[in-house]
Amino acid sequence: NEASRKESSNFKTTILEHRAQWNNLMHRMSLNNSKIAAPAKFHNFAYDPRKEASKQRKPILELVDAGIDGNLPFPPLLRPEREVDIIIACNASKSPNIDRSRSLRAAAKWAEERGMKFPPIDFDNSYSKICTVYRDENDPSCPIVIYLPLKTNPG
**pTM for the structure as a whole:** 0.59
Interval 70-77 mean pLDDT: 82
Q: What radius of gyration, in Å, describes the C-alpha atoms of the chain?
A: 18
- Residue 32: the pLDDT is 42
Q: Which residue has the higher pLDDT, 109 or 38?
A: 109
- Residue 121: the pLDDT is 94
- In sequence order, the β-bridge partners of residue 37 are none
Confidence of residue 86 (pLDDT cuts 50, 70, 90): very high
- Parse the chain into domains and list their residue ranges: 1-33, 38-64, 68-149
Amino acid found at 70: G
Angle in degrees, 0-180, between the axes of helices 19-28 and 2-17, rounded to the nearest 10? 60
Q: Tell me the pLDDT tens digit for each residue of 21-63.
A: 766 666 655 444 444 456 778 888 878 878 776 666 788 887 7
